Amino acid sequence: ASELVSAAIDFADISASEVMTARVDIVAIDIDDPWEEILRTIDTSPYSRIPVYEDSVDHVIGILSL
């Protein structure tokens, strides 16, 4: 429990801009993309989680966890 409290206190010292990815740098997958493109995106992404969207990156329908 003390580790959780300590982590919460440490987190309070971090600003949102330090942990967020700029919109232009977001790697995301359109649910309607062809499989080849989806696999290429997964293969080249440096991230462990990739948002999956429908129609627009503003409409995220899930997160692909690698």
Query: pLDDT tens, 46-63?
Result: 999 999 999 999 999 999
Which is more confidently placed, 46 or 10?
Answer: 46
**Whole-number pLDDT of residue 38:** 97
- Mean of the pLDDT values across residues 35-44? 97
- 36-45: Cβ within 8 A, 24+ apart: 42/66
Q: Indicate the pTM of the whole model.
A: 0.71
Q: Does the structure show a pLDDT above 70 at 41?
A: yes
Pick the CATH number of 23-66 from 2.60.40.420, 3.40.1390.10, 3.10.580.10, 1.10.10.10: 3.10.580.10
Residue 38, classified by CB atoms within 10 Å of its CB into exposed (0-12), middle (13-18) or buried (19+), is middle
